[in-house]
Structure 1
Amino acid sequence: MGAHSTLFFSALLASPAVFAQTTFLWDQLAPSADLDWVTCYSRFQCTRLEVPLDYSDASVGTADLAVIRLPANVSKSEYRGPLLFNPGGPGGSGVDTLVQAGPSLQLVFGSEYDIVSFDPRGVSYSTPVAAFFQTDAERALWNAGSLPASLNASSDALPFNWARGKLLGQLAAQRDTSGILKYMTTDNVARDMLLITQKFGFEKLQYYGLSYGTVLGATFATLFPDKIERILIDGVLDADAWFNTNLTIEATDTDKVLQSFFDGCAAAGPELCAFYEPTAAGVADRLTALTESVRTHPVAAITPVGYGIVDYSFLRQALFTSFYVPYMLFGPIAQGLAALENGNGSILLSIVQQPAFECDCSNDTVPFHLNNGEAVFAVQCGDGSKVTDTLEELRAWYDNAAKTSKFVEFLVGSNRVSCAGWQVYRDDRFEGPVAAANTSFPLLLLTTSADPVAPSAAALKTLAGFPGSAIFTQDSPGHTSMTAPSLCTSTYFRQYFQNGTLPASGTVCAADITLFGAPAPSRRDALSAEEEELLAALKVISEAVRPVITSKRIN
């Protein structure tokens, strides 16, 4: 949602956004009704595509989508058209992600495809942008006042965040001078994807979507069941829950990821896990004691790039962030927890800290490029059913949802609470149900064995809505398969796109990586050069999508 749009809109612990290091200026590229490609980012091609703001009323005007492709590298007779990629969010920049991961994605899926991505309407380089704040400095001040973040941190945490949701909703409505907000809905982005495909000269979509990109893919399949060539969705959310602004189901497996931290640390040993205890229960007890200690005695911390307070909310947010990418963050998190026991919060702070804000008044060529926070709020709230609960009703709703997971405040509660003040809706927006009795080609779904925000229950519910489609599992904790490279998984991806092969029922793939850097089980045969290259590519993709699927703040 990657991050997932279900993440708390005011949380402070986002990973820094990865942006394309280039002098390419999107605002100097003239929009066109066609795909007028120009060279960009050295090996890519870019265009700004005009799309209708409202597909049912052309008089409303247009938006300009930033579209990028890595061209196929085959003969004309072998060319198989565009393969669209959405890294999640909503609000993630497809442009920036593809600049980093494009060649690696092409290695996975095949050089016969143009690997294509885009910034959805209102996002990043696409215009007009969704912006609730007039300057970057104003946005930074908003972020600085976003605590308390954890809805169970104190008795006033939920009312505080409910009020902030009301405030942000009012700001959004008052400052929507371009009128973009009500047209940023997922159904419109699905229509944009069909238009992009058609501009390439193809009538059926080829698509790979992660996290929130699974809602987008499933919505497309519902609206255009006869326009599917291939749709692969990875880290599958319950799209009906998304449109109902009730994401309780998404927290179903969250605590499984926490358990994988306990189990993995105990198995890894003290040299690999600094928070080691001989048993998983011992690790759990140690974390409980530390959490209660920090609740009553927060720790001040200074790092080379800033400073902060490691309190109860910060600790829980840091843990929850690590659930998305456990293979990357469990080791550092364990080091930070061990140091925190000794009064040193700097390690934990440095893992998830963003550099302090500095005003750059000269950097105004593309205003609000990194506006993923505003986009998260606009899409998740504008898509969903209007929240009319009173504060008392929300508290009762949250208390019930909290039975699903120990960390539900960062997912279910935040979504519904933060959208309580949203005011901008399009009356004819798509609201579900997400299903299609017949599709022109089966969808392929992938779930991990323990996804903190996209559980297997959500994937199975989605599967039931598309008869004839298939699902398989990657045996790894974390959000989407791309957080844990797997040669097995990538093989099924390629087979699906190359020849339409679906995995057999019950297929499970292992990850080619271990928690805490523990030694991997020995293989019967050494990896080939091609497999080594593919694993390296999968790691590049993992790095590229990480900021999108873990981002939580108004950037």
Structure 2
Amino acid sequence: MDTTRLLRTTGTVIAAAGLLLSGCTSGGPGQPKASASPGSSTPAGSGTPSTTGAQAQASPDPVALRPYYEQKLTWRDCGVPGFQCSTMKAPLDYASPGSGQDVDIAVARRKATGPGKRLGSLVVNPGGPGGSGIGYLQAYAGIGYPAPVRAQYDMVSFDPRGVDRSTPVECLTGPAMDTFTQVDQTPDDAAERAGLVAAFKKFAAACQARSQRVLPHVSTVEAARDMDLLRAVLGDEKLTYVGASYGTFLGATYADLFPDRVGRLVLDGAMDPSRPALDLNRDQTAGFETAFTSFAKDCAEQPDCPLGTGSPEQVAARLKEFFAKLDARPVPSGEATRPLGEALATTGVIAALYDEAAWPQLREALGAAMNGDGASLLALADSYYEREPDGTYANLMYANAAVNCLDQPPAFSGPEAVDAALPSFEKASPVFGAGLAWASLNCTYWPVKATGTARKLTAKGAPPIVVVGTTRDPATPYKWAQALAGQLESGTLLTYDGDGHTAYGRGSDCVDTSINRYLLEGKAPEEGKKC
């Protein structure tokens, strides 16, 4: 239901569109060097992290953290050929490490295939927040990254705290989540407004009831600290990392905390950490409008476009009219308890806008829905929510809300504040603005007070960090990449002039060659390079 600030790679959104991202000697600046044995660390992890941007919090006691940095991972077969899995311990609360309150962090790897010198570990994160790094590694990154990269790096990922195989955030049951995803996101009267508010309150209460212990401790700062533990127990002096979407915020937070431990960082589909929640949500709303405009232009030229011909504005008006019809009368989807209404249809359309390869699928799904069959558009929404055929859900949406609501104060204080902001959201997107504005109310009723705030991340003293921005990215607008590259002291911006969410491995030889060279040789693209 809440699609705002769900910052994801398309590989985790639409299986039918295909999993994305793909992408050569050692010795460049910032290159991680493998320690003599896994489990060793940079003096027991006792270095003092930066206190710029990311850390208003007190630094954890390095002596109390020593056992975590010196732990040994026991690797086992994952059940997926070629992959090994393990579990790492991390303190639930970094203010009290060693108190006996720990969380489990699930880790997976695929060892470097050779030939060539092993360069260390390459940690990857697919975004979200809430996306499973292990699922992403096993389904794509561990087998789909460029062969030269996989030859020289152990491909590694982890489920951040609160996510999936790690100590997870749990909230609604499957049937309750089905109900939640159907609540009207564009309330027309007082009763519908009250229903929406009640749905957010019920969601928050369920998270508190089922996840009270972990809920205050799933912030991005804590996940970044976990990532430094992982770096150490893997035996790497420096972190080499590719983060997509929300993973760019995680990576930038790490760099700001531990600039002296940064190896080669690629931040693809970047967030702007200095933007408060209201601005982030409004910017993302405009991003989806930009993506929809690209889809509309293409659709109007196709013989099977269900929204007809004409300008993007005319195509958008027809989609908005269709949504209004669904709001009044949902169409059958093949599931008696889940007809396709406006809320699910909007989510389905948004899901397909993450990747232009899904545009034919979206045209077909819209055409069927406009003819009374909502099954295909519902399937797109289900892929977005990670709903399984048996009616269960992955914990993506629960972890997503928990992290977002902890990282920043809520966008709105209540429904009246949404009313005041509606004109700006509808200006940003005539089609999606109202729904995304009301969706931004989700953190207002969250049971745990935010521990973070909007802030610039500078990573002072870090080696070159590559920030990648796509000019027509729906979920992470291009201006966010420009902003992050400008904030990071050593940030260098690589621009992809194209559509879709993120750029690496999406068909641009220019982008892939630039990033591969950086990962394998340590040579960052020249500042301002465009592909």
- TM-score range (shorter-chain normalised) is 0.7 to 0.9
Quick one: structure 1 residues 91 and 111, their matched pair in 2 at CA, closer, same or farther if it must change by over 3 Å?
A: same
The 1:54–1:349 alpha-carbon spacing in structure 2 relative to 1, beyond 3 Å, is closer
1:139 equivalent to 2:146? Answer no
Residue 186 of structure 1 corresponds to 220
Unpaired runs of 5+ residues, structure 1, are: 9-13, 19-30, 360-367, 510-555
Number of aligned residue pairs: give it: 468
Match of 2:197 in 1: 162
Q: Does the Cα contact within 8 Å between 1:219 and 1:434 map onto a contact in 2?
A: no
CA distance in 2, matches of 1:221, 1:295: 45
| CA drift at 1:382 | 1.4
- Please give the alpha-carbon distance, in whole angstroms, between the structure 2 residues aligned to 1:71 and 1:211: 25
Q: Conserved in 2, the CA contact under 8 Å of 1:85 and 1:115?
A: yes
AA matched with 1:88 = G
Partner in structure 2 of residue 270 of structure 1 = 303
Match in the other structure for 1:496: 518
Cα gap change, 1:295 to 1:500, in 2 (>3 Å) = same
Which of 208, 212, 222 does residue 173 from structure 1 map onto? Answer: 208
1:24 aligned residue: none
Deviation for aligned residue 1:89? 1.1
Q: Residues 245 and 384 of structure 1 are in contact (CA less than 8 Å); yes or no, is this contact kept in structure 2?
A: no
SS for the counterpart of 1:239 is coil
- Is this contact kept in 2: 1:4–1:89, CA < 8 A? no
Shift of 1:61: 1.9
Query: In structure 2, the residue corresponding to 1:309 is in which secondary structure?
Result: coil
* 1:405-554 paired onto structure 2 within 5 Å: 405-406=429-430, 407-409=432-434, 411=436, 413-415=438-440, 417-425=441-449, 429-436=451-458, 438-481=460-503, 484-509=506-531
2:89 to 22, 30, 50: 50
Deviation at 1:263, TM superposition (A): 1.4
Whether the 8 Å contact between 1:263 and 1:280 is mirrored in structure 2 is yes
Structure 1 444/159 Cα, relative in aligned 2: closer, same or farther at 3 Å? farther
Partners of 1:391 and 1:139 lie apart in 2 by 27
Partner-residue secondary structure (3-state), 2:275: helix
1:36 to 74, 77, 89: 74
Equivalent residue, structure 1, for 2:119:
80
Pick aligned residue for 2:417 from 385, 388, 393: 393
Q: Counterpart of 2:444 in 1: which secondary structure? A: coil
2:404 to 360, 365, 380: 380
Partners of 2:241 and 2:419 in 1: how far apart? 39
Quick one: distance in 2 between partners of 1:4 and 1:90?
Answer: 12
Q: Deviations over 1:348-392 (max 9, x none)?
A: 344445778648xxxxxxxx9932221111111111125671332
Is it true that 1:371 corresponds to 2:411 in the alignment?
no
* Other-structure match for 2:374: 345
Question: Structure 1 residues 143, 240: closer, same or farther in 2, change over 3 A?
Answer: farther
> SS state of the match for residue 79, structure 1?
coil
Q: By how many angstroms is 1:119 displaced?
A: 0.7
Higher RCO (CA 8 Å, separation ≥ 6 residues): 1
Q: Distance in 2 between matches of 1:476 and 1:92?
A: 24
CA offset at residue 123 of structure 1?
A: 1.4
Q: After the TM superposition, which of the residue ranges 57-66 and 275-284 deviates more from structure 2?
A: 275-284
Measure the CA separation in 1 of the matches of 2:299 and 2:516. Answer: 34
Instruction: Give the one of 237, 240, 252 matched to 1:218.
Output: 252
| Distance of 1:45 and 1:489 partners within structure 2 | 30
Decide whether the 8 Å contact of 2:469 with 2:478 is kept in 1. Answer: yes
Q: CA deviation at 1:274?
A: 5.5
Deviations along 1:414-464, one digit per CA (max 9) or x if unpaired, are 23x0001112247xx443523226332111111112111200111111111
**CA apart distance, 1:159:** 4.0
The one-letter amino acid paired with 1:236 is A
> What amino acid sits opposite 2:355 in the alignment?
V
Kept in 2, the 8 Å contact 1:159–1:391? The answer is no
Aligned to 1:105: 145
Classify the secondary structure of the residue corresponding to 1:403. helix
| 1:230-245 equivalent positions in 2, closer than 5 A | 230-241=264-275
Structure 1 residues 309 and 87: alpha-carbon distance in aligned structure 2, compared to 1, 3 A threshold: same
Secondary structure in 2 matching 1:191: helix
Task: Please say if residues 471 and 496 of structure 2, whose CA atoms lie closer than 8 Å, have aligned partners that are also in contact.
Answer: yes
Query: For the structure 1 residues 503 and 99, does the alpha-carbon distance in structure 2 shift closer, same or farther, using more than 3 Å as the test?
Result: same
The one-letter code of the counterpart of 1:218 is A
Q: What CA distance in whole angstroms lies between the structure 1 residues aligned with 2:315 and 2:393?
A: 42
Mapped contact 1:98–1:117 kept (Cα < 8 A) = yes
What per-residue deviation string (whole Å, max 9, x for no partner) do you get for residues 499-529 of structure 1?
22232344332xxxxxxxxxxxxxxxxxxxx
TM-score, with length taken from structure 2:
0.79
Deviates more, 1:499-508 or 1:47-56: 499-508
TM-score between both structures, scaled by the size of structure 1: 0.75
The answer to whether the aligner puts 1:316 opposite 2:350 as a matched pair is no
The Cα of 1:412 is off from its aligned counterpart by 5.2
Structure 2: which amino acid aligns with 1:383? D
Is the alpha carbon distance of 1:425 and 1:288 closer, same or farther for their aligned partners in structure 2, counting shifts above 3 Å? closer
Supply the distance in 1 between the matched residues of 2:192 and 2:149 (Cα, whole angstroms).
Answer: 46
Report how far residue 162 of structure 1 moved: 2.8
Inter-CA distance 490–387: structure 2 relative to 1 (3 Å threshold): closer
- List aligned pairs for 1:6-45, cutoff 5 A: 6-7=5-6, 33-40=71-78, 41-45=80-84
Which residues of 2 match residues 319-334 of structure 1 at below 5 A? 319-328=349-358, 330-334=359-363
3-state SS of the aligned residue for 1:476? strand
Query: In 2, are the aligned partners of 1:444 and 1:469 still within 8 Å (CA)?
Result: yes
CA contact (8 A) 2:484 2:491 kept: no
Question: Structure 2: which amino acid aligns with 1:80?
Answer: L
Distance 1:51 1:395, change over 3 A: same
Whether contact under 8 Å (2:120, 2:236) holds in the other structure is: yes
Query: Does the CA-based 8 Å contact 1:446-1:472 persist in structure 2?
Result: yes
- Could you say which residue in structure 2 is the equivalent of 1:255? 289
Question: In structure 2, what residue type is equivalent to 1:414?
Answer: A
Structure 1 residues 62 and 339, CA gap change in structure 2 (3 angstroms): closer
Which residue type is aligned with residue 38 of structure 1?
R
Structure-2 residue corresponding to 1:526: none
1:113-153 deviation per Cα after TM superposition (whole angstroms, max 9, x unaligned):
111000111211112x21124xxxx3322322443343366
1:150 aligns with 2:185: yes
Counterpart of 1:474, as a letter, is Y
Confirm whether residue 206 of structure 1 aligns to residue 206 of structure 2.
no
Change (3 A) 1:313 1:443: same
Corresponding letter in the other structure for 2:439: S
Structure 2: distance between partners of 1:243 and 1:346: 33
Q: Helix, strand or coil for the counterpart of 2:222?
A: helix
Preserved contact between residue 127 and residue 247 of structure 2 (Cα < 8 Å): yes
Q: In structure 2, which of residues 332, 346, 358 is the aligned counterpart of residue 300 of structure 1?
A: 332
Match of 2:102 in 1: 62
The Cα of 1:338 is off from its aligned counterpart by 2.9
Q: Give the match's secondary structure for 1:92.
A: coil
- Residue 157 of structure 1, CA deviation: 4.6
Q: Show structure 2 runs of 5+ residues with no match.
A: 8-12, 18-67
The structural deviation recorded for 1:34 is 1.6
